[in-house]
Chains A and B, each alone.
Chain A
Amino acid sequence: MLQPDHAEPGAHGADHAEGGFDAGQVIIDHVTNSSPDHPILHLPAIFGIDFSISKHVFMLLFVATVVFLLITTTVRRYLRQDRLVPGGFMNALEFVVEFIRDSIVLPNVGAKYVRSWAPLVLTFFCFILAANVVGLIPIFEVLGLIDHYVLHTGEHSLVKNVIHGGTTATANFNVTAALATITFFAIIIAGSLAHGFIQHWINLVPHGLAWPVYILLIPIEVMGMFVKPFALTMRLAANMTGGHIAILAILSFVFLFAREFGSALAGIGVGLFVSIPLAVGINGLEIIVVLVQAYVFTLLSAVFIGMAINVHH
């Protein structure tokens, strides 16, 4: 008979078998970055900032590499043809590229700046979507299971370090804050390119109003400048975290019931009839959320960039 703690690949059976099952700790372990004390690759700090390759840095590098190779090879193969007939993955990629260019970038930034800003918006979408999707695939949970039953590596081995921590880099608000910071600067650069650096700041508030209005308006607009990326940061991180927490909480029922009723059978029953159907449902929902959040971040970035270019109050 399986021990309840081992039945779910995500639960680090070895860590919790003795001290009992702590659902909160397991969930936090699975949605947050790996512990700063045990990064995958320890690097020296620069200016007091720890640049070690943690789980989320590893995921970023992994996702960026996959996205770059996949898109570049597809596009290169497509462009090498004599007659440009898209096929296979290129069909999907072309649909995405044309959709983003014509439905997101073009209406917001205008025809003049499409070629300047389409690459940034496309990269946002592909990178965020890929990071979100990779987070849904339990690669490391499977690796953890293999490690637990087959490899039996030591406490701080490379495999253990890779297993620890959440897989979804975009669920970490440091990552989304960095992405939103790029949007923040993109807005300033877009406004400066379109109107000049000084005029961009003047454009922040509508002109021709009575001066007392500006006392109120300038602080509001300056605040708005920071609220936009802050909202982007929190929306993406929270959405990516939320679904994972829900799935993990539902799967935790298995172990909580097994413990409460003192029988593995109760856990397996709850798992089969409650946890797995619910978790599958939420996973399906997550597929939509993953797409929608990548789309929303992309769309809002394009809207904000467009607002700096086409100023109307």
Chain B
Amino acid sequence: MDNALVQPDPGLFFWTIAVFLVLLFLLKRFAWGPLLAALDERQAGIRKSLDDADQARKELEQVREEAEAIIGKARAEADGIISDARADGGQLRDDLRQQAQQQAQAIVENAERQIQQERDRALQQIRQEAVDMSLMIASKLIRRNLTAEDNG
């Protein structure tokens, strides 16, 4: 072929293959190999740090949930304690009131009984005294009668 555009040139052909293969070997040895290894390493590093961050975030979430659970439980317990205390207080108040009422009643009853007893005793004393007095009067009367007859 005499067209210069499509002139076969085996020398150039082999030169190209030789130059390219040498370039490929050198670049692979000195540039692509180390670079690709470094890129892979960096990629692995980034993936690891992202995984670590995810892990940390998950752990944080878990801890927060746990904390919230603990706070919730504490709150419930406090509520329980307060309501228990309130119930206990009410119970105690009722008990005390009842006790006080009972005591008051007992005191009143006691007082009434004492009053009754005192009255009974007083009445009895009065009665006794009345008996004594009438006896005394009677005996006085009898004694006078006896003396008058003697001297008469």
Contact = CB atoms under 8 A, between A and B. Distances in A.
A241 B5 CA distance: 9
B21 interface: yes
Q: How large is the interface on A (under 10, 10 to 19, 20 to 34, 35 or more residues)?
A: 35 or more
Interface stretch (A12-20, A175-183, A276-284): A175-183
A2 B82 CA distance: 109
Contact of A127 (B23, B28, B30): B23
Nearest to A98: B39
Contacts, number: 123
Secondary structure call for the B interface = helix
Contacts of B147: none
Nearest to A97: B35
Nearest to B10: A49
B4 A28 contact: yes
Secondary structure call for the A interface = helix
Interface in B6-35: 6-17, 19-24, 26-28, 30-35
A181 B12 CA distance: 13
A79 B38 contact: yes
A36 B38 CA distance: 45
B27 A68 contact: yes
B36 interface: yes
A173 to B, nearest CB: 7
B11 A175 contact: no
A49 B30 CA distance: 32
A54 B20 contact: no
A56 to B, nearest CB: 6
A119 B12 CA distance: 23
Interface stretch (A69-77, A221-229, A267-275): A69-77
Contact of A36 (B9, B20, B21): B9
Contact of B11 (A32, A49, A97, A182): A49
B23 A119 contact: no
Interface of A: 28, 31-33, 36, 45, 49-52, 54, 56-57, 60-61, 64, 67-68, 71-72, 75-76, 78-79, 84, 94, 97-98, 101, 115, 118-120, 122-123, 126-127, 169, 172-175, 177-179, 181-182, 241
6 contacts: A32-B7, A79-B34, A123-B24, A174-B10, A175-B12, A181-B17
Closest 6 pairs between A and B when the two form their complex, measured CB to CB: A178-B16, A119-B32, A119-B28, A32-B4, A174-B12, A75-B31
